[in-house]
Amino acid sequence: IEPDEMALCLQKYIAHTFNDMLGVTVIKYQQGYCMTRTAIRPEFTNPIGSIHGGLLCTIADTTAGISTIRIEEDSTVTTISSDMQFLRPAMNLSHIYCQAEMIKDGKRIAFADVKLMTEDGILLAKGSFTFARIQLPGPKKRDTTDLNQ
């Protein structure tokens, strides 16, 4: 799956961040939906060889957060609650895919559900996230020039 135009713009938003360091790549975005792909590196595994649950939570949190961003506003979201269920071990994978869908878009709070899957669509984990909407401080305002073309 190649990233769509909107996904490429949002990838700039997470450039030079923790998520970028982990290799989280936005491949599809539309208001209320986001899909990411993360290339798995050997250091992402735990002692039994499966992908560390903390990484799966981070991927889910990032993808869910992006799904709730209102790109036309100078605001962002921050996680206030998360709940993850791990359904099977994530082993011997080259990539993890994550889909997030915003299920409630409130004035101050947003809710999103996520699914983490293999490239073949096998469900590995699922979760629910709650985000608080916050205003971006002046120097951190999102550059939306590419997004409004």
Residue-wise pLDDT tens for the chain (149 aa)? 566 777 777 777 677 788 888 999 999 998 899 999 999 999 999 999 999 999 999 999 999 999 998 877 777 899 999 999 999 999 999 999 999 999 999 999 999 999 999 999 999 999 999 999 998 776 555 455 555 44
- Dist CA 67 CA 117 (whole Å): 17
Model pTM score: 0.85
Q: For residue 128, give the nearest of 96, 104, 106, 93 by alpha carbon.
A: 104
Whole-angstrom distance, CA of residue 28 vs CA of residue 37: 10
